[in-house]
Structure 1
């Protein structure tokens, strides 16, 4: 029987697990359903370090936003932003400059509903319900145009989401469409599952996620590098999430799941 809770949008089918809610569960969140938790436990069986992988991806997001803000970025477009948890992009950016503008994008109804609640009264942040495979719709959306000035540099964020884009959707072409609309000096921060490190574990993850509404498509380092075409990678290039400008370099390589997801940040010249 489906759980009866008050925070569920009417159109949500609680029996179909989603990646956003599985990720929420792995991060210790409460906005997930029984079907999500069952899938998450299978995910953990396939990838025992999954909770650490989720935590490290979230930590990369924080460091990437801080880095971009330190380079002068004051407007951010976060694609596949997920269910709000502590340390959202606008919280990080506003900690550096309260005038920073943030547009979140997600197609998952629960993620959007909670983002709307979180952002009530915040004139510097909004959420759009849309699929990241629709760059024209997202970039042309009235809320995007209201908060983001595309004639000035933008921090484009694709943290832990682009591995849900199938090869048939032309991943490099999708990124290029966003890139071409961004002004020079903009940044792309991206993290992405790979099978380079633990192919057997990742094959298990692929099988598990095939039962959800969000199948996963891990990519090689070369394929992920291709997504940065037109961007100059900043040091240290594309590395495991724990190894991208870590707060504690001496411990970074010892983190469980440190390299299950590749991460990088590039600057458009």
Structure 2
């Protein structure tokens, strides 16, 4: 029997590993697969975590991250990439230096602040992220806490969010998507800013199991870009995918379970 070979689009994720399987590299690769995109990965750190807590975080040496990225670039035709948790200044700078050589869409998920508001990066790492990575972004996807930190503005209403998006946009990203995430006050809406504000309407999904939502959204957008979709089309498809995943979230473990990555996707299209 003759094998049928296919050549799928390829996407790359540069992020940390989640031993509980709900976020990070694990979530990204599942999201890529759901969109029928081949996923490559470069690990920045390894975490020991489950649905209840993060027990330990170990960074990968910068040389190890660099070797992963070069190995992928030397062989595989990556058509879009994303970054997630980069953990420290050295890993951020290593990533940025290599990403400058990639003329493909780049989704930067600035994993700086958790959904609960806990700051995850030291000040010097935040500075490196702002100076070195933001200008490379096709799309930056901060949550509300991260948008507040990057802009220096308190976000209490829609006008504040639009102002923060404009300030962040001026720092270099081609577009900024401020995610509602677990912020009920935004009602499931997200703000896309590409020089003008565009409010993306949504429906709030009431579930305690939302682990990996941000990683999954940025990965799904990256998959759409790898498929050749325009940014607005990729964002729309990714938001719909995440909403379906939340509606079928996994009640596993004793804490906050992850969203479902095998929620049905309709009308997957690769642009001609």
Tell me the TM-score normalised to structure 2 length.
Answer: 0.37
